[in-house]
Structure 1
Amino acid sequence: MTVIAHPDAAHRRGSPAFRRITVALFCAGLSTFTALYAVQAVLPALSTSFGLSPTEASLAVSVATGALAIGVLPLTALSDIVGRTTVMTVSLFSSAALSVLVALSPNFTVLLVLRVAEGVALAGIQAVAMSYLAEELHRESLGSAMGLYVAGTGLGGMTGRLVGALVDDVAGWRWALGTTALITLLCAIAFRVTIVASARFQPRPPRVRELAGSIGRALTDLGLLGLFAAGFLLMSCFVTVYNFLGYRLLGPGFALSGTVVGLVFGVYLAGVISSAFIGRMVDRFGRPSMLIVTAATTLAGILLLGMGSLAAVIVGLIVTTGGFFAAHSVASSWVSARSAVLHVQGSSVYVLFYYLGSSVGGTVGGLVFSAHGWTGVTYYTAALVATVLVVAVLLRGLLGRRATATA
Structure 2
Amino acid sequence: MIIEMIVFIYFLYYEYIATVWLIPLLTARYVIYRHILSAIAMIEIKTSAYRRASFALALGSFIVFCNLYLFQPMLPLMADKFNASAIQVNWLLAAGTLTLALTLVPWAVGSENIGRRKVMMLSLFLLPFVGMAMLLADSLLMLTLARGSMGISLAGFAAVAVAYMAEEFTPKALMLAVGGYISANSLGGITGRLYGGFVTEYWGWEVAVIGMAIFSLLGALAVNRLLPEQQYFTPQKGQLRAHNRSVIGHLRQRELWLTMLIGGLNFALFVNLYTVMGFRLVAPPYSLPISLASMIFLCYLSGTITAKLSGRWSQVYSPISGMVLGTTVSAVGMWIAAYNSLYAMLIGLLFISSGAFFTHSLAYAWVSQKAKTAKATATALYLVHYYVGGSVGGFYLIACWQYGAWHGVLAGGMVLYGLIYLLCWRLHCRAQSKEDTAAVLKGTHTAV
TM-score of the pair, normalised by structure 1: 0.93
User: How has the CA–CA distance of structure 1 residues 350 and 184 changed in structure 2, closer, same or farther, with 3 Å as cutoff?
Assistant: same
The alpha carbon displacement at 1:122 in A equals 0.7
User: For residue 3 of structure 1, what is the aligned residue in structure 2?
Assistant: none
Q: State the alpha-carbon separation in 1 of the partners of residues 274 and 88 from structure 2.
A: 15
Question: Within 5 Å, which residues of 2 pair with 1:155-234?
Answer: 155-234=187-266
The alpha carbon displacement at 1:308 in A equals 1.4
| CA deviation vs aligned residue, 1:30-66 (integer Å, no higher than 9, x gap) | 1111100111011111111111111111101111111
2:293 paired with 1:261? yes
1:264 aligned partner, one-letter code: I
| CA deviation vs aligned residue, 1:74-97 (integer Å, no higher than 9, x gap) | 111111122111110110121232
Q: State the alpha-carbon separation in 2 of the partners of residues 360 and 307 from structure 1.
A: 26
The alpha carbon displacement at 1:380 in A equals 1.6
Is the 1:218–1:344 Cα contact (8 Å) retained in structure 2?
no
User: For residue 26 of structure 2, what is the aligned residue in structure 1?
Assistant: none
| Structure with larger RCO (C-alpha < 8 A, sep 6+) | 1
Is the 1:306–1:375 Cα contact (8 Å) retained in structure 2?
yes
User: How has the CA–CA distance of structure 1 residues 344 and 68 changed in structure 2, closer, same or farther, with 3 Å as cutoff?
Assistant: closer
1:247 aligned partner, one-letter code: F
Match of 1:119 among 151, 154, 163: 151
User: For residue 134 of structure 2, what is the aligned residue in structure 1?
Assistant: 102
2:69 paired with 1:34? no
Match of 1:16 among 48, 68, 92: 48
User: How has the CA–CA distance of structure 1 residues 115 and 343 changed in structure 2, closer, same or farther, with 3 Å as cutoff?
Assistant: closer
Q: Secondary structure at the match of 1:202?
A: coil
User: For residue 428 of structure 2, what is the aligned residue in structure 1?
Assistant: 396
User: How has the CA–CA distance of structure 1 residues 68 and 26 changed in structure 2, closer, same or farther, with 3 Å as cutoff?
Assistant: same
Q: Secondary structure at the match of 1:306?
A: coil
Percent of matched pairs sharing the same residue: 28
Alignment gaps of 5+ in structure 2? 1-36, 439-448
User: For residue 248 of structure 1, what is the aligned residue in structure 2?
Assistant: 280
1:70 aligned partner, one-letter code: L
Is the 1:55–1:370 Cα contact (8 Å) retained in structure 2?
no
Is the 1:88–1:125 Cα contact (8 Å) retained in structure 2?
yes
| CA deviation vs aligned residue, 1:239-271 (integer Å, no higher than 9, x gap) | 211222111101012222222212222111112
Is the 2:105–2:377 Cα contact (8 Å) retained in structure 1?
no
Is the 1:214–1:343 Cα contact (8 Å) retained in structure 2?
no
The alpha carbon displacement at 1:103 in A equals 4.4
Q: State the alpha-carbon separation in 1 of the partners of residues 401 and 282 from structure 2.
A: 14
Match of 1:59 among 66, 81, 91: 91
Is the 1:285–1:402 Cα contact (8 Å) retained in structure 2?
no
Is the 2:246–2:374 Cα contact (8 Å) retained in structure 1?
no
| CA deviation vs aligned residue, 1:316-342 (integer Å, no higher than 9, x gap) | 011101211111111000000001379
| CA deviation vs aligned residue, 1:88-144 (integer Å, no higher than 9, x gap) | 011012123212322452221211111111111111011111111111111122211
Match of 1:238 among 251, 270, 277: 270
TM-score of the pair, normalised by structure 2: 0.84
User: For residue 22 of structure 2, what is the aligned residue in structure 1?
Assistant: none
2:419 paired with 1:377? no
Q: Secondary structure at the match of 1:219?
A: helix
Higher mean alpha-carbon deviation, 311-320 vs 387-396, is at 387-396
Higher mean alpha-carbon deviation, 199-208 vs 221-230, is at 199-208
2:280 aligned partner, one-letter code: R
| CA deviation vs aligned residue, 1:133-178 (integer Å, no higher than 9, x gap) | 1111111222111100001110010001111111122122222233
Q: State the alpha-carbon separation in 2 of the partners of residues 342 and 84 from structure 1.
A: 12
Q: State the alpha-carbon separation in 2 of the partners of residues 96 and 262 from structure 1.
A: 24
Is the 1:39–1:177 Cα contact (8 Å) retained in structure 2?
no
Q: State the alpha-carbon separation in 2 of the partners of residues 32 and 335 from structure 1.
A: 21
The alpha carbon displacement at 1:402 in A equals 12
1:45 aligned partner, one-letter code: L
Q: State the alpha-carbon separation in 2 of the partners of residues 203 and 9 from structure 1.
A: 20
User: For residue 398 of structure 2, what is the aligned residue in structure 1?
Assistant: 366
Is the 2:109–2:377 Cα contact (8 Å) retained in structure 1?
no
The alpha carbon displacement at 1:208 in A equals 1.8
Q: State the alpha-carbon separation in 2 of the partners of residues 398 and 360 from structure 1.
A: 28
User: For residue 341 of structure 2, what is the aligned residue in structure 1?
Assistant: 309
Q: Secondary structure at the match of 1:38?
A: coil
1:328 aligned partner, one-letter code: H
Q: State the alpha-carbon separation in 1 of the partners of residues 219 and 376 from structure 2.
A: 31
Q: State the alpha-carbon separation in 2 of the partners of residues 257 and 362 from structure 1.
A: 22
| CA deviation vs aligned residue, 1:323-378 (integer Å, no higher than 9, x gap) | 11111111000000001379794211111111111112222222222222222122
Higher mean alpha-carbon deviation, 83-92 vs 342-351, is at 342-351
Q: State the alpha-carbon separation in 1 of the partners of residues 375 and 295 from structure 2.
A: 44
User: For residue 138 of structure 1, what is the aligned residue in structure 2?
Assistant: 170
Q: State the alpha-carbon separation in 1 of the partners of residues 389 and 318 from structure 2.
A: 25
1:353 aligned partner, one-letter code: H
Q: State the alpha-carbon separation in 2 of the partners of residues 206 and 91 from structure 1.
A: 22
Question: Within 5 Å, which residues of 2 pair with 1:318-333?
Answer: 318-333=350-365
Is the 1:237–1:384 Cα contact (8 Å) retained in structure 2?
yes
User: How has the CA–CA distance of structure 1 residues 175 and 382 changed in structure 2, closer, same or farther, with 3 Å as cutoff?
Assistant: farther
User: How has the CA–CA distance of structure 1 residues 178 and 9 changed in structure 2, closer, same or farther, with 3 Å as cutoff?
Assistant: same
Is the 1:217–1:344 Cα contact (8 Å) retained in structure 2?
no
Is the 2:160–2:376 Cα contact (8 Å) retained in structure 1?
no
1:327 aligned partner, one-letter code: T
The alpha carbon displacement at 1:313 in A equals 0.4
1:113 aligned partner, one-letter code: L
The alpha carbon displacement at 1:291 in A equals 1.3
User: How has the CA–CA distance of structure 1 residues 344 and 19 changed in structure 2, closer, same or farther, with 3 Å as cutoff?
Assistant: closer
Higher alpha-carbon Rg:
2
Question: Within 5 Å, which residues of 2 pair with 1:274-293?
Answer: 274-293=306-325
